[in-house]
């Protein structure tokens, strides 16, 4: 019988957990690994794709499982949330009543797609508030913080002590700021301190990068 042809050895596949590359892209899903993460997994929408944040040492099988779970979780959240302008305006009214004594009464609250370097903005002279569509899919407490931040600017235009005193009533202020700073750092968005341009506030570092 003729001898079998020699089989060429195949290199073992490289697991993302041990890959030197910090990121891997799976279609519309981008997986970003962090050595700082030990157990926590989170996900959010960004520029038409889903970003999943994982611990650096997680195995390839665990990555696939968690990506699937986070996609399902985001889909459920977004279905419940229905991020329309009407729902956002109702949400602003509830936050104003709960944390600002109902004193902040915007004339317009809406989602916009042209704010790629800031999470929210407020024009007190017009009573208008705009939130970046990039917030859609993030935890509700984060969206609430940015919305409350802009509501507070209807009462105090600047960022002095009086402004931050208004936000002290919201118990997740620091947690939300930390979340947004982490997202901004991972996406390499500019870090700027909140500043005013005449009567318009552009929420930056403190409201989310």
Query: Over 80: is that where the pLDDT of 119 sits?
Result: yes
Please tell me the CATH code under which domain 85-203 is placed.
3.30.2010.10
pTM here?
Answer: 0.56
Percent of the chain whose pLDDT exceeds 90:
44
pLDDT tens-digit readout, 132-153: 988 888 899 999 999 999 999 9
Q: How confident is the model at residue 107 (pLDDT cuts 50, 70, 90)?
A: very high
200 three-state secondary structure: strand
Domains of the chain, residue spans: 19-81, 85-203
Contact 184, 209 (CB under 8 A): yes
The pLDDT, as a whole number, for residue 116 is 78
As a whole number, the mean pLDDT across the chain is: 78
pLDDT surpasses 70 at 46? yes
- Residue 129 is predicted with a pLDDT of 96
Confidence check: pLDDT of 104 > 60 = yes
Question: Is the confidence at residue 81, as pLDDT, over 90?
Answer: no
Using one digit for the tens of pLDDT, what is the confidence trace for 157-207?
A: 888 999 999 999 999 999 999 999 888 887 665 543 243 333 344 444 344
The answer to whether the beta carbons of residues 194 and 207 sit under 8 Å apart is: yes
Reply yes or no on whether the pLDDT at 130 is more than 80.
yes
Residue-wise DSSP of 137-173:
TS-HHHHHHHHHHHHHHTT--S-SHHHHHHHTTSTTH
Query: What integer pLDDT is reported at residue 80 of this predicted model?
Result: 67
* pLDDT value, residue 148: 97
- Sequence-distant (6+) residues with CB within 8 A of 190 are 117, 184, 209
């Amino acid at each position: 019988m003729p001898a079998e042809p020699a089989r060429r050895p195949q290199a073992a596949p490289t697991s993302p957990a041990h890959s030197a590359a910090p990121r891997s892209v799976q279609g519309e899903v981008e997986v970003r690994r962090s050595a700082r993460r030990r157990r926590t997994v989170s996900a959010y929408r960004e520029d038409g794709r889903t970003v999943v944040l994982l611990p650096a040492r997680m195995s390839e099988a665990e990555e696939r499982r968690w990506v699937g779970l986070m996609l399902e979780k985001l889909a459920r959240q977004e279905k419940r949330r229905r991020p329309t302008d009407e729902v956002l305006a109702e949400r602003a009214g509830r936050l104003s009543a709960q944390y600002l004594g109902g004193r902040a009464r915007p004339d317009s609250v809406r989602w916009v797609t042209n704010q790629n370097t800031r999470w929210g903005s407020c024009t007190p002279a017009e009573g208008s508030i705009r939130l970046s569509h990039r917030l859609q899919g993030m935890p509700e407490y984060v969206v609430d913080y940015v919305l409350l931040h802009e509501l507070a600017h209807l009462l105090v235009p600047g960022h002095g002590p009086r402004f931050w005193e208004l936000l002290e009533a919201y118990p997740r202020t620091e947690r939300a700021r930390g979340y947004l700073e982490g997202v901004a750092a991972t996406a390499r968005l500019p870090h700027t301190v909140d500043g005013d341009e005449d009567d318009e506030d552009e929420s930056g570092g403190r409201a989310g990068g």
